Structure formats: C-alpha cells, structure tokens
Chains A and B, each alone.
Chain A
Amino acid sequence: MELVGAIFTLIGALVLLVASIGLIRMPDVYNRLQVGTKASTLGTIFSLFGLVLVNPGWAGKLILLIFFVMMTNPVSSHVLARAAYFIKIPLTRRTVVDKLKVSDSALKVKAD
C-alpha cells in the first residue's frame, strides 16, 4: 500500500512539474492560467491521494483538502483571467477569435 501511495505522489509531482514547464512555455497570461489551473489541480489531487494511501488515518482531512482545492482553484483562476482581460492585458498574437471584445462595448465604457 505504501508503494502504491508513493507512486501516486510521484505522479502528482510529475504533473506539477509539467505545469511549471507550461507556465514558462505558454505565450500569454490566459494560456498560462489554463495550464496552471488544470495541471496544478490534478497534481495536488494525486499527491494528496497518495498520502491517503500511505497514511489512511488522515483520509478525512485529506479528502476535505482535495475538495477545497477542487472548488477554489477554478474560482481564483476565473477571477484572475477576468481581471487580466478588463485591464486590457493583450492576448497572444496566435489568438484566432475574441468574442468578448466584439460584444462588450457597453461594459468597456463602465470599465473606463
């Protein structure tokens, strides 16, 4: 059981590593948020789940932690992305479409 737990924790750490590589490689703030949110959520879940297997006595607390991470991570990254958009941080040049720009002239006036 301890071995399985260790393997899960290792996978989690690898996913987190990929997330940090992604932070460097992605071209703009929105794509970085994408990588940051998803990979860090799964990485944390795997690491904590590995801990559950190694030490079953902590299961309740760790499951709570997993739940909080799953609930709060998307909220924070949504707020960051929204704030970044409204202070006009530019999208990368590879962007193909921006529907928000077209449809929110009313909101822009408010933001100014």
Chain B
Amino acid sequence: MKNIFITFLILMVVWILLNNSVQINILIPGLITAFIVSLLVCRQCEIFTDYKLTPKAFAYTIIFLFVFFIELIKSNLDVIKRVLSPSLPINPGIVEVKTTLKSKFARMMLANTITLTPGTLTVEVKDESFFIHWIDVQTDDIEKAGNEIVKKFEKYLEVIYG
C-alpha cells in the first residue's frame, strides 16, 4: 500500500514538472495514468517499505539533499584541484567501511552518496561492508575510515529509513 502510494506521488510530481502546469484538464489524465501505472508496477515491489511517512523523515530528506549538494560541490572543487595541480597529488587505494543501516534502499542511497562525494567511489557492497576506492587514502582502519566517509550521511538516512 505504502509502495503504491509513494510511486503514485513520484509519478504525479514527474507529470506536473513535465507539463509545467496545474490545469485541471492536464491533471486528470495524469492522475488516472499514474494511478494505473503504480497499481500495475508496484503490487509486489518493496523499495519504499522502509521509508517513514512522518514529517520528521520528510524534513530530514530535505536536509539530506542540502548536505548532499554541499558535499557534491566540495568534492568537485577537490577533484578539480587534484587534476590541475602539476604533481597529480593522488594516493589511491581501496578501503573497507562498515555501515549500520539495515534497509536496502537506505544502503543504495548511501552507496550513491559516497560515490558522489569527495574522492570516494563505491566498488563493492557485501553484507555490511562497503569497499570504497578512495582517491586520497588517509587511513586504512575500518573505524576511522568509516568516521571519515559514511558517518555524516548515515545519521540522516537512519532517521529517514529507520
């Protein structure tokens, strides 16, 4: 039920953004199509089962997007600096970090976020371990690397997906 509802909401938002208007004669076909599609596609899917439909989770989603965007810009400045400096100051390696997140969707979001943030790229996910290619390895200790890479996002995702 929750899956169908969230899929429906997302489809509706996409429809409105694509049409760029909220007139009633445009909204109604969208409503019908989104309803049918979400029923057909999402009878068995369980992507959003862990998403909490509370105001707090919603607020944290917004904050998370902001934090994410700031980290994205920071990571880009960092990469640009490395690429343009003549000595190519990289120190690459693959490190392991552990996550405490249980939900599949939250883990996917975390892996995505890691990939888009400063100098890190998720190479493999196995059980609780993320193997991360780090362009500038500072420590190969699981705990310390975890603090450095995943902690700042984990605390938001924990609230959002539980």
Residue numbers in B under 8 Å from A3 (CB-CB): none
B96 and A103: CB pair below 8 A? yes
B16: CB under 8 A from chain A? yes
Q: How far is the CA of A74 from the CA of B17 in the complex (A)?
A: 23
B94 and A97: CB pair below 8 A? yes
User: Which A residue's beta carbon lies closest to that of B80?
Assistant: A18
User: Which B residue's beta carbon lies closest to that of A23?
Assistant: B83
A88: CB under 8 A from chain B? no
Report B119-162 residues with CB < 8 Å from chain A CB: 119-124, 126, 129, 131, 133, 135, 137, 140
Shortest beta-carbon distance from A67 to chain B in Å: 9
Residue numbers in B under 8 Å from A77 (CB-CB): 115, 121
B123 and A82: CB pair below 8 A? yes
A25 and B116: CB pair below 8 A? no
A42 and B72: CB pair below 8 A? yes
A85 and B123: CB pair below 8 A? yes
B25: CB under 8 A from chain A? no
A81 and B121: CB pair below 8 A? yes
A30 and B133: CB pair below 8 A? yes
A59: CB under 8 A from chain B? yes
* Contact A33-B121, Cβ < 8 Å, known A15-B76, A98-B94: yes
**Set A38, A57, A91, A94: member contacting B20, Cβ < 8 A:** A57
User: Which A residue's beta carbon lies closest to that of B83?
Assistant: A22
A35 and B83: CB pair below 8 A? yes
Chain A residues engaging chain B, CB cutoff 8 angstroms: 15, 18-19, 21-22, 25-28, 30-31, 33-35, 37-39, 41-42, 57-61, 63-64, 70-71, 73-75, 77-78, 81-82, 85, 91-92, 94-101, 103-104, 107
Contacts beyond the supplied A60-B19, A104-B124: 11 A-B pairs with Cβ under 8 Å:
A15-B76, A26-B90, A34-B79, A34-B121, A38-B75, A39-B76, A39-B83, A74-B115, A75-B112, A78-B122, A99-B93
Report, nearest first, the 10 A-B pairs whose CB atoms are least far apart: A60-B17, A74-B115, A97-B93, A22-B83, A99-B96, A42-B76, A74-B112, A96-B93, A100-B131, A97-B140
